Structure 1
Amino acid sequence: MYKLTLTILLAVLTAAMSPATAQDRPNILWIVSEDNTVLLGSYGDQFATTPNLDQFAAGSIRYKNAFSTAPVCAPSRNTLITGMYPPSLGTEHMRSVYPSPAFVKFFPKYLREAGYYTTNNAKKDYNTPDQTDAWDESSNKATYKNRKPGQPFFAVFNLNVSHESSLHEPLPALKHDPEKVPLPPYHPATPELKHDWAQYYDKLEEMDRQFGRLLQELKDEGLAENTIVFYYADNGGVLARSKRFMYESGLHVPLIVHLPPKYAHLASQKSGTVSDRLVTFLDFAPTVLSLVDIKVPEYMQGGAFLGKQQKPEPPYAFGFRGRMDERIDMSRSVRDKKFRYIRNYLPNKIYGQYLEYLWRAPSVKSWEELYKAGKLNAVQSKFWEAKPAEELFDVDADPHNIKNLADDPKYKKDLERLRKANAEWMAKYKDVGFIPEAIIYEIAKKTPLYDYARSGQYNFGKIAATADLASSRTAAHTQALIKALADTDPSVRYWGATGLTVLKAAAGKDALRKALKDPEPAVRIAAAEALYVTGADKTAAVATLTDALKSDNPYARLQALNVLDLAGKDAAPAIPGAEQIAAQKPEMFDYDIRAAKVLLNNFKNSK
């Protein structure tokens, strides 16, 4: 009888405690703005009108060294949702949707499994096949209000008012004065640039109002004391040379986290303070799991900066750039608390490659026109010219990243240290970005790139070493690059040909002609580019590129179109093929179609 009474009593106590225990688990609210770096009053921008965020920061932890992993949304959001570095997954290229390995769960799944109500309102854009079961709700009507009584929630709200598309149409009336707007030193003071900057500050003000409404709604629901709130931006932005580019303006993001008093013990510092800890998007998924006391999976590559599973501060923040829409490029970056290092693997390509979407902003066109007219100074002209292999900036002294210190002997040790950190990071996670995307596309049909890189088939060391030679702009490497054209690995052969393009080397003509018959389209196209750029055999080059437009591989077509865009009138044989591509309806993404339309327009104007 005594045992039975005790059993009943324990059952009653357990039932009574369960709702309270659930309620004691913190809710997590993410408020995400699009395309803005630290242009907020709380971060020292005196021109910004952001009172709600400034007040929020005053009672929260403001992180001064927070960075997106990529300077564009989809690859960065891939990092956020997986807790993994996209170049290790093969998901670095903009909207490529290559598969993740089977063991990778979108992290809200772990919260759902633990009893959380998960909602997303409404942007996903995760750059890999969706996992719809990560959310209880995902739509522009999704809200935590639909959860069960007492059920904890994880909710995401995306504010897109500051997205770059907000600058595509100039507004006739502005709150921020274009004549008073502060311009970065790389932007000339054209009327269009001043207007776009002022309009952007107007959009940030509206974003701040939307943020304030979401915060007030949380308070009105009586949930503020049980909810940990994150505010951050999905990447930097938004005017040209910020979003998509590897500078502070593209990678440095605001991050402000508020922990109510009952959860203050989950942070290592007090509310109302500023943290200089290095934080990247790799750390967000582990941090949320740490805050709600769910074990962080070992495969996640970041470390929690809040909660019970906090990790030591990392010494570096790593970033990457792959293909951006229809333009191919490849860079990697390392940031510590003083310096930003950038390694450009395709330095022959100018920073300001034409992107149809970016060029919709009037400011970009006005900047380009002044360059073509020869009316810019050296700092303003740099965007329209080819890149160095390496860049190094003292961020404290040079927040706009305009003075490259890579060749300054005083900074040799820092350059070598950060160069080594970049190489070690890429090797640790088997960066598959060195594989041409036309080859990635074929591999991904059979296996996720993460699994491929660990299958013994990916010769990372040799490929990365060849890419280093190819991008170094060192003529002494010419013979090694010619030798690479005969390697058994197609990615090595690709970088051999690419290196000869970078050097504009007259040598290697016979090896490049032979490579025009390579079984891999990416290698044939790279060889054709080298033959065209060096002037060694433009006719054979254009013939190969024209033939590549018939490929079933959309990224082979895109690679060829990128090269043909350099050819001007010489591209005439390829025009019928480009017209066929331009007339297609996109199956998923239209980047080859965009590139074909650009080629046709440029060819028309070259006559």
Structure 2
Amino acid sequence: MNFLLITADDMNWDAVGAFGAPVEDVTPNLDRLASQGIRFRHAHVTAAVCQPSREVLMTGRYPHQNGGMGFEPIWDHVETLQDRLRGAGYLNGILGKVTHLAPVERFQWDEQQDAGDLGHGRNPDLYASYARRFLARAKEEDRPFFLMANAHDPHRPFVGSEQEAAKFGDEVRDLPAPSTIYSPEDIVIPGFLPDLPEIRLEISQYYNSCRRCDDTVGAVLRELDHAGLADTTLVLFLSDNGMAFPFSKTNCYLNSTRTPLIARWPGVTEPGVYDECHFVSGIDLTPTVLDIAGLDPIEEADGSSFANVLRAEKDATRDRVFTVFHKTSAGNAYPMRAVQTERFGYIYNAWSDGKTVFKNESQSGLTWKTMEAAAKEDEDVEARARQFQYRTPEELYAFRNDPDGLNNLIDDPDQQSRVSEFRKMLHEWMVTTEDDLANCYRDRYSL
């Protein structure tokens, strides 16, 4: 079996039409892929920031178990998916985000092209060209393959933004436009952000970048078809984390870690299936690929294969997911741990002390600046901005009914038994995974 893993960079789960995108026809290629396979309501990445998220995917281990807690290389002793595949004769290739799996040499890529080879990771035609070359080599050498095609869209800077002009300068003219352009009037503001004109503008720019990401997805999938390899290739699509806006990326909210996972396994997955029962995590990807490839599992992996779910089997153990956050790309530590079930999500903010101010890259654009300005006159925006900056040590949300995390139930008298259950659940996970926060968390809440 061959494997094609396509990833988006900072795409929220609900930017994809097949997952209920509020903007029409943003992702026609992904929607087509979803119609041919299975998509998951409860799929989550493990850490909602680029490099840690991707290093989890390729090791099957939590960041505090693989060493990649911030933008750091994994530890030398940690085995990777590529170690196993290479040993089995697979041809391994990567397009984009090469340095976000570090150290690069540990991942043993037979072919690699990074952003500079791919029009800053934003040129669908260049992705198609290199995918074509890689697939031709796999056919010529008669080898099974694993190709990881990583779009750099819709990561900031967004299409048409001032950030884009500042970062790329005159090279902006060489970047292809998305196949469809959206205006501020075309989009819907996420419920976790205020609807203000400048925010509406930036969200439209984000959707333009999502459309170009979908263009890249379509370009790579067409090359797979043209090579005659679609029928022998398991295609997986996901995003490494949520959108780069407040209350999404680099956090543990629903919109931080939920990912639009799609799988098309020819002859196995039924077309157009929407799995609303099983929780799937980033730690599960490596075990799943090894299982389907018929290779021995990595014994130290934290995750487990969901190949049984792809085969339409029920798995009652998949009823929750644990997610983490350690550091921003700037190296600032804001340790968070979370557990989500079908109805609720509980978040522990170990850093929140009423004084420490949260800062991340999502505050670099129009949206945060607009919120700061509006907060001076609007009490609701001021309260929302303060919540983002300071948090509380614990948060509890009824995510099934409150997916945007607007009503923190942690102090609700009717929820205290549930809070206790989540505390116990999270502490047991901390102990099992040897999390350094386990003892202080136990002492803080007398567990």
TM (norm. structure 2) is 0.84
Partners of 2:107 and 2:326 in 1: how far apart? 29
Distance 1:243 1:184, change over 3 A: same
* Counterpart contact for 1:68–1:76, Cα < 8 Å: yes
Rounded Cα–Cα distance in structure 2 between residues aligned with 1:182 and 1:61: 26
- Aligned counterpart in structure 1 of residue 358 of structure 2, from 328, 353, 372: 353
From 20, 29, 33, give the equivalent of 1:52: 29
Summarize the alignment of residues 275-314 of structure 1 with structure 2, pairs less than 5 Å apart: 275-276=275-276, 277-306=278-307, 313-314=317-318
Paired residue for 2:162?
Answer: 169
**What letter is aligned with 2:7?**
V
Distance 1:74 1:187 in 2: 26
Cα-to-partner distance string for 1:284-318 (whole Å, 9 max, x where unaligned): 00000011110112111101001699976433211
Please give the per-residue CA displacement for 1:39-86, whole angstroms capped at 9, x wherever unaligned.
211011131411111111111101111001111111111211111011
CA pair 381-246 structure 1, distance change in 2 beyond 3 A:
same
> How far apart, CA to CA, are the structure 2 residues paired with 1:396 and 1:273?
20
| Residue number in structure 2 paired with 1:337 | 342
| Cα distance, 1:139–1:175 mapped onto 2, change above 3 Å | closer
Gap change, CA 1:373 and 1:379, over 3 Å in 2: closer
| Cα drift, residue 126 of structure 1 | 4.4
Partner of 1:35: 10
Q: Deviations over 1:163-191 (max 9, x none)?
A: 12326526899922313422133422332
SS at structure 2 position matched to 1:211? helix
| Structure 1 Cα separation of the partners of residues 102 and 148 of structure 2 | 19
1:414 correspondence with 2:418: yes
Give the structure 1 partner of residue 97 of structure 2: 123
Counterpart in the other structure of 2:173: none
2: CA distance, partners of 1:125 / 1:369: 36
User: Distance between the aligned counterparts of 2:416 and 2:275, measured in 1?
Assistant: 29
Partner of 1:158: 150
Q: Which amino acid aligns with 1:181?
A: I
The equivalent position to 2:434 in structure 1, one of 430, 433, 437, is 430
Separation (CA, whole Å) in 2 of partners of 1:412 and 1:133: 46
Q: Distance in 2 between matches of 1:125 and 1:422?
A: 32
TM-superposed deviation, 1:415: 1.9
Query: Quick one: distance in 2 between partners of 1:34 and 1:275?
Result: 23
Gap change, CA 1:415 and 1:385, over 3 Å in 2: same
**What amino acid is the match of 1:411?**
Q
Whole-Å separation in 1 of the counterparts to 2:203 and 2:354: 27
Q: How many angstroms does 1:360 deviate by?
A: 2.9
Partner residue of 1:106?
A: 80
Q: Is the 8 A contact 1:121 1:138 kept in 2?
A: yes
Partner Cα distance (2:56, 2:137) in 1: 28
The alignment status of 1:226 with 2:200, answered yes or no, reads no
Residue matched to 1:82 = 59
* Partner AA of 1:332 in structure 2: R
44, 50, 53: which is aligned to 1:73? 50
| Residue aligning to 1:178 | 184
AA at the equivalent of 2:82: P
1:590-601 matches, cutoff 5 A: none
Greater relative CO, 1 or 2 (CA 8 Å, sep 6+): 2
CA change 1:391–1:384 in 2 (3 A) is closer
Percentage of identical aligned residues:
27
C-alpha separation in 1, matches of 2:406 and 2:150:
32
Letter of the structure 2 residue corresponding to residue 86 of structure 1: P
1:550-589 paired onto structure 2 within 5 Å: none
Distance 2:184 2:415 in 1: 38
Deviation of 1:351 after TM superposition, in Å, equals 8.8
Q: Which amino acid is 2:427 matched to? A: A
Q: CA deviation at 1:121?
A: 0.9
Q: Quick one: structure 1 residues 326 and 205, their matched pair in 2 at CA, closer, same or farther if it must change by over 3 Å?
A: same
For 1:55 and 1:352, the matched residues in 2 are separated by 43
2:371·2:381 contact (CA, 8 Å) conserved in 1?
no
Once the two structures are superposed, the pairs formed by residues 443-462 of structure 1 within 5 Å of their partners are 461=439
How far is the alpha carbon of 1:27 from its aligned partner?
0.8
Task: Name the structure with the higher strand share.
Answer: 2
Distance (Å, rounded) in 1 between the aligned partners of 2:395 and 2:336:
11
With over 3 angstroms needed to count, the CA separation of the structure-2 counterparts of 1:121 and 1:394, relative to structure 1, is same
AA matched with 1:95: F
Q: How far off is 1:127 after superposition? A: 6.3
Structure number with the higher helix fraction is 1
Unaligned runs of 5+ in 2: 115-129, 166-176
CA distance in 1, matches of 2:148, 2:384: 38
Q: Closer, same or farther in 2 for the Cα pair 1:123/1:271, shift >3 Å?
A: same
Aligned residue-pair number: 408
Q: Secondary structure at the match of 2:231?
A: helix
* Cα pair 2:251 2:336 within 8 Å, conserved: no
User: Is 2:148 the counterpart of 1:144?
Assistant: no
- The one-letter code sitting in structure 2 at the alignment partner of 1:289 is L
TM-score, with normalisation over the residues of structure 1?
Answer: 0.63
Within 1, Cα distance between the matches of 2:218 and 2:356? 37
Q: Secondary structure at the match of 1:151?
A: coil
Question: Which amino acid is 2:96 matched to?
Answer: A
